[in-house]
Amino acid sequence: MKRIWAPWRKQYVEQGTPEGCIFCLKAAAGDDAKQHVITRGESCFSMLNRFPYNSGHLMVSPFRHVPGLGSLDARELTELMVMVRDSISLLDLKLSPDGFNVGINLGRAAGAGVADHVHIHIVPRWEGDTNFMLVLGETRVIPHALDEMYKKLISG
């Protein structure tokens, strides 16, 4: 039996899965700290992933609910990519990773968990961050709680 102690997940388990698009809900919620929204622009925002691949895993998304890059106008597309660049700079400054994975899953067949609202994943990577837990136990260990990571990323 595989067990990992993750008391911060209790809130998610008790509240269940929200109805609606997570990107639309978080952008409209108004409490950026509670929603783990890191930055807001005119047409896009960044937020921490609630189910991160690694500590600091961010997602950048337009406010507008669209399924793909082709649905964005030039201004939205530009801001989206500028926010990806700025998010990488922030993560580099605050976490000093050895590298990054940046990716977009377009469509459910491509692995998109939220297929109808385009978003870009930014995952900080460190040398050796794939360890025996993942290889032997098929379990990923994330060393930071979301609230802790949020405070670290928004601090001066």
Active-site positions read 119
Q: How many residues are there in the chain?
A: 156
The Cβ of residue 36 has, within 10 Å, a number of other Cβ atoms equal to 21
CA-based R_g, the chain, Å: 16
